[in-house]
Amino acid sequence: MLGNKIKARLCTCTAPMYLLYSTLEQGKLDEAMKLEHRLMNINMAVAKYNTGILFVKSAMDWFPGYYGGPTRKPLLPLDKKSLDGLKKAFVDNGFL
């Protein structure tokens, strides 16, 4: 289970985080700032819907080769409004 959670985080964050690091290293501050703001928008959406680990499980299903699976008690599945809001944040910020 922990491995799946780590994979989901790597899938959604590794490439953009590496890109952020490399643009900073190259001195492309404007480009890095734009990417950082896109990443911050995802973080704000997770905070807005207060989803925590439920977000990670749901987001895994959006990426090929990953499966978050159903939630187990005592957690409940994400409601449609939260799921749609999180997915919209990913799409609007170019991560899906």
Residue with tokens 């080769």: 65
pTM over 0.85? The answer is no
Q: How far apart are CA 44 and CA 21, in angstroms?
A: 21
Give the pLDDT of residue 1.
46
Residue with tokens 């409940």: 76
Could you tell me which of 85, 43, 73, 61 has the C-alpha nearest to residue 7?
61
Q: How confident is the prediction for the chain on average, in pLDDT?
A: 81
Confidence label for 29 from pLDDT (cuts 50, 70 and 90): very high
Give the pLDDT of residue 27.
94
Stretch 11-32: mean pLDDT: 82
Higher pLDDT, 11 or 88: 88
